[in-house]
Amino acid sequence: MAYACQGGKGLRGVLVVESARLFDIDGAEQAAAAVEALHAYSLVHDDLPAMDDDALRRGRPTVHVAWDEATAILVGDALQALAFRLLADPGCSPDPAVRADLVLSLATASGAAGMVLGQAQDIAAETAAQPLSLAEVMDLQRNKTGALIRWSAEAGARLARADTAPLSAYAGALGLAFQIADDILDVTGDQEKAGKRLGKDEGAGKATFVGLLGLDGAAARARSLVEDACDALAPYGDRAETLRELAGFVISRER
Amino acid sequence: MAYACQGGKGLRGVLVVESARLFDIDGAEQAAAAVEALHAYSLVHDDLPAMDDDALRRGRPTVHVAWDEATAILVGDALQALAFRLLADPGCSPDPAVRADLVLSLATASGAAGMVLGQAQDIAAETAAQPLSLAEVMDLQRNKTGALIRWSAEAGARLARADTAPLSAYAGALGLAFQIADDILDVTGDQEKAGKRLGKDEGAGKATFVGLLGLDGAAARARSLVEDACDALAPYGDRAETLRELAGFVISRER
């Protein structure tokens, strides 16, 4: 479980901590750890032979390669339980209503109407009669990666029992920009730096933003989404500077 | 997900509803559904080829046989998320502190220090140099099946914010009796009625209560544990009659 949680970018956890800072909440590390545990579980299961069958993740062998498939399934299962345990524990927030709200929203974002749905859509697309349309790819990504990024950015407002709408708008644009950058990285990236197998989308005949918009079109769309994301942070003024920088990082990253 | 939840005994859900009745709480169905979803997820994953590799469950093909492995992994993942969503939702209890407590306790019971640990111990035992001792088998089963049964029986007290100790003692004895009955069923049961593959423990060279205590010794231990379980219900008097009957059912069942 520790191995699976190491070496990531920590984007989701940083979003939790930074969104909480907007509301002068300092103790958001436990909620940040929860979403990183949940994200790690999804990677361990997605990498399994029956799913994406990946041997490399975060620059190291995937869990089922370093151990075995049964261990990888159990590690993912236990990481999911850990995520909800961290959120429901009083150390996450002294207010039980906040804790219940964080659990409810993360369970919704990560379950059959969110992240798991997105992964199922992704797998179904591999054997679909025709490639997905742009609208379908956007819907898939909104579920597969967008739901968890949105939860992370909204978490600060949830911890403060504040309005989640501005952070939700920020995260909606950010999540899509993130996925477009991922698709660009899959084509133009350096596998050494990325720490995972690249070029796999084309190999699998998957519809991607690059395939649908072209490299330049995809890059332009990502830049425009980052602008939208930053605009959505206007209500927070200068306090949101780190979240704005994060949006820029998301499309300039090498992994 | 629906397929995986159908056709079970519903023991854990009944324990939730009946333990809640002790405290005059009628609306425990949502918490009951949560533990049944969680239990169903564990069966779907345990049946996978990389784990116990079972083709039959509750009298029907297992999920990975009826669909495929990727679907079975995702169904299990989404059922776990659903369990926590049901507990964190206001429909489970109007009191957010109760909801957070139910999530925290179920995440603990089902995770790396509970159910998942038990399954990992079970898999490790298959390749261990020597068979497990009685103490080791009891520890394994306390985690693998006991933790969830205990959570289910305690849930009524948690919903009422009452003392969980008597129900915890009841469930500790009941969980062990349940597993001993399972081991007896694996040897003497009718596969048709059981709805799952039997005789598999001996085939896998697993240490079981029957192997360690003999058939008669195991049956005597189970009966004695049911008595202990019923004794633990003394504080509730006649109100606990259904829970006492349930303890008797657990060792007389055919599936």
Residue A225, CA distances (Å) to A115, A148, A168, A208, B228 in order: 21, 18, 14, 17, 64
CA distance B117 to A74: 8
Can you give the pLDDT at residue A203? 66
Helix or strand holding residue A121 (H, E)? helix A115-126
Can you give the pLDDT at residue B190? 85
pLDDT tens, residue by residue, A12-39: 999 999 999 999 998 899 999 999 999 9
Contact yes or no for B47/B72 (Cβ under 8 A): yes
Q: Which of A1, A48, A108 sits opposite B112 (nearest CB)?
A: A1
CA distance A24 to chain B (A): 24
Give strand ranges (E) for chain B: 56-57, 60-61
Q: Which of B71, B110, B119 sits opposite A81 (nearest CB)?
A: B110
**Exposure on the CB side of residue A241, measured as CA atoms within 13 A:** 2
Classified by CATH at the fold level, domain A2-252 comes out as Farnesyl Diphosphate Synthase (1.10.600)
Going by C-alpha positions, the residue among A27, A22, A76, A9 that lies closest to residue A48 is A76
Contact yes or no for A152/A19 (Cβ under 8 A): yes
Categorize the per-residue pLDDT at B82 as very low, low, confident or very high, splitting at 50, 70 and 90. Answer: very high
Contact yes or no for A65/A72 (Cβ under 8 A): no
Mutate to test the interface with B, among A45, A116, A123 (most CBs of B within 10 A): A116
* Chains A & B: contacts with CB separation below 8 Å: 124
Length of chain B: 255
Going by C-alpha positions, the residue among B236, B61, B173, B41 that lies closest to residue A78 is B41
Torsion angle of C-alpha atoms A108, A173, B74, A123, degrees rounded to 10: 150
Q: Identify the segments of chain A with pLDDT beneath 70.
A: 202-204
Higher-confidence residue: B245 or B255?
B245
Tokens 């994301």 belong to residue: A229
pLDDT tens, residue by residue, B36-63: 999 999 999 999 999 999 999 999 999 9
What is the 8-class DSSP label of residue B239? G
Least confident range from A35-44, A76-85, B113-122, B195-204: namely B195-204
Mutate to test the interface with A, among B63, B80, B106 (most CBs of A within 10 A): B80
CA distance A54 to A79: 19
Tokens 């005789």 belong to residue: B199
Residue B224: other Cβ atoms inside 10 A? 12
Give strand ranges (E) for chain A: 56-57, 60-61
